[in-house]
Structure 1
Amino acid sequence: MDISGERVGRRTGLEWSPIRGCRTIERATPTEAAIGLSFDRRPHTVLMATPDDVEDLAIGFTLTEGVANFAEILDVTVEAAAEGILVDVRLTPSAKARKMRPRTLEGRSSCGLCGVQRLADAVRPLPVVASNRPFDPRAVQRAVAAIGDRQPLGRLTRATHAAAFANADGELGLVREDVGRHNALDKLAGGLLRAGADPAGGFVVVTSRCSFEMVEKTARIGCPMIVAISAPTDLAIRKAEEAGITLVALARDDGHTVFSRAERLKPELRHVG
């Protein structure tokens, strides 16, 4: 993936070290832009995101927020504006009557639920992912080992997250990066839909902690397993159990921990502990 000037800025800073003292350095910084998302020209939310793969982001957000399914999206238009980027998703009449989760604030890059008005809208029932596909622990490790080399923006800036889709053998296919972990996963969801991929045939890998919103998005994608580099929250584990999702976290070079639905992994892992 090409790193364009639009995605990266250059900033100077004053670095201090007890050994070297003070020195001026230059550092690459990821661009963060306002993405105004509307449905049928009706403004819905503003996302703070890395300004690439914007169409994937819009399509993925539409799916993972339960606004509409992929078949109900007629068109996506992307326009540059002085304040950021405007994206409009045109839906079929059957989707327009569906109740959206209302928002009143911008969605910040660190938060997947900014602006949600009601508690009932924050934690909603999730679809159950009914898949008996088994996975091997070595496939998880293979995917975790490979994701670092698939993050050009992350390696350059050390300030972004990535979300990737791995097949059953742990080989990475589509990878998306963003300053926001939720945005990266939405971009991945949109990219998978546009590519016609089968989410049930592999698993999601994210370079962040696993909160329940990440589980929610994985469930709405229809993927049976999510692997997170960092730790999960208690609610994420509970929601993963409810949604039939295998939640693997603390996935590092030396191993990983399975917190829910371990039966989907091979028998050698089922009886550990």
Structure 2
Amino acid sequence: MPRPTIRVPCSIWRATGTTEGERAIPQETAIAFTFNTASYAVMMATPQDLEDFAVGFALTEGVVPSIDAIDEIEVVEEAVGIELRVWLKAKDATEFLGRRRKMAGPTGCGLCGVESLSEAMRPPPKVGEGRVLTPNQIMTAVESLAPRQELNRETRAVHAAGFWDPERGLVAVREDVGRHNALDKLAGALARDGATAEQGVVVLTSRVSIEMVQKSAAIGAAIVAAVSAPTALAVRMADECGMTLVAIARKDGFEVFTHPHRVKGKLESDVA
């Protein structure tokens, strides 16, 4: 498998002058998804945590109802990319083949290949009750992500999605050049561990757009916290599915856009 990063030469321009150097940059690889040999999607993604990607994508895109529908995953390197061959159990394969579609997605797109407006605007599933957290716990969840972003620390060019649990802290982190890919990988990691996202916080380094809400709801996230702002449609979707949407999370606080009942208390100046 290709490494997730490579080092390339570059000219470095600074006020003090110009020097020759090199920079670590992330790989962007064509990842093809096939389900029981049927082509489904090609996404541009970072070639890392690919089995998590296969499981998470299948779940958040509604290809399978649960991880139990997946029989086997093969990661096959091809000359021009990587193929994720997902083998579904007989009943699930029959259902999938009756409704499959093809899609192509660059790194910045989570809805490419959708064939109808109703499909693009599909309502996410209702999320569970989750739990009530303090503002300091929300801040702790957000601030715990950056130290675990190994690829971004090296390249300054990838997104991350993490899951924070009040008892265990940051349970899992996944990174990718695409924000929705990172979330899919996180979804797969949680599913393979037999967990859901209901009892903690899904933390995102990106803006919150509609597909990020749809994918988060698919894994049961009752609270999503992001460092950037949401779109209007994301707010509407989060409200409809019962999700607490926290965004614009900075060192001095955050903003809650939907279902604020899950955040109670006062924000203390010292999170630690």
Partners of 1:101 and 1:254 lie apart in 2 by 46
2:135 and 2:265 in contact (8 A); partners too: no
Quick one: which of 64, 67, 70 aligns to 1:70?
67
Structure-2 residue corresponding to 1:103: 102
Structure-2 residue corresponding to 1:82: 79
Structure-2 residue corresponding to 1:201: 199
Does residue 234 (structure 1) correspond to residue 232 (structure 2)? The answer is yes
Quick one: which of 22, 28, 31 aligns to 1:26?
22
Work out the number of aligned pairs and report it. 264
Structure-2 residue corresponding to 1:9: 6
Partners of 1:209 and 1:43 lie apart in 2 by 30
Structure 1 pair 36–261 and aligned structure 2 pair: CA distance change class (3 A): same
Does residue 137 (structure 1) correspond to residue 96 (structure 2)? The answer is no
The CA deviation at 1:185 is 0.3
Letter of the structure 1 residue corresponding to residue 218 of structure 2: R
Residues 172-208 of structure 1 deviation map (CA, whole Å, 9 limit, x = unaligned): 1100011110000000000001011232121100111
- Higher deviation after alignment, 67-76 or 159-168: 67-76
The CA deviation at 1:137 is 1.1
Residues 71-109 of structure 1 deviation map (CA, whole Å, 9 limit, x = unaligned): 2111111111111111111112332315657234x2111
2:130 and 2:199 in contact (8 A); partners too: no
Identical-pair percentage: 46
1:144 and 1:253 in contact (8 A); partners too: no
1:66 and 1:100 in contact (8 A); partners too: no
Letter of the structure 2 residue corresponding to residue 223 of structure 1: A
1:250 and 1:256 in contact (8 A); partners too: yes
Task: Spell out structure 1 runs of 4+ moving beyond 3 A.
Answer: 98-101
- Secondary structure of the 1:199 match is coil
State the TM-score, normalizing by the size of structure 1.
Answer: 0.91
Quick one: which of 208, 216, 222 aligns to 1:224?
222
Letter of the structure 1 residue corresponding to residue 235 of structure 2: I
Letter of the structure 2 residue corresponding to residue 32 of structure 1: E
Root mean square deviation, CA, Å: 1.8
Partners of 2:151 and 2:99 lie apart in 1 by 32
Alignment gaps of 5+ in structure 1: none
The CA deviation at 1:15 is 3.0
Structure-2 residue corresponding to 1:58: 54
Alignment gaps of 5+ in structure 2: 268-272
2:162 and 2:186 in contact (8 A); partners too: yes
Letter of the structure 2 residue corresponding to residue 214 of structure 1: M
Residues 20-66 of structure 1 deviation map (CA, whole Å, 9 limit, x = unaligned): 24332311001111111011110101111110100100100000001
The CA deviation at 1:114 is 1.6
- Secondary structure of the 1:143 match is helix
Partners of 2:164 and 2:176 lie apart in 1 by 18
Alignment of 1:120-269 (within 5 A): 120-168=118-166, 171-268=169-266
Letter of the structure 1 residue corresponding to residue 91 of structure 2: S
Structure 1 pair 5–51 and aligned structure 2 pair: CA distance change class (3 A): closer
Partners of 2:123 and 2:171 lie apart in 1 by 29
Partners of 1:170 and 1:23 lie apart in 2 by 45
Partners of 2:205 and 2:121 lie apart in 1 by 23
1:199 and 1:221 in contact (8 A); partners too: yes
1:56 and 1:188 in contact (8 A); partners too: yes
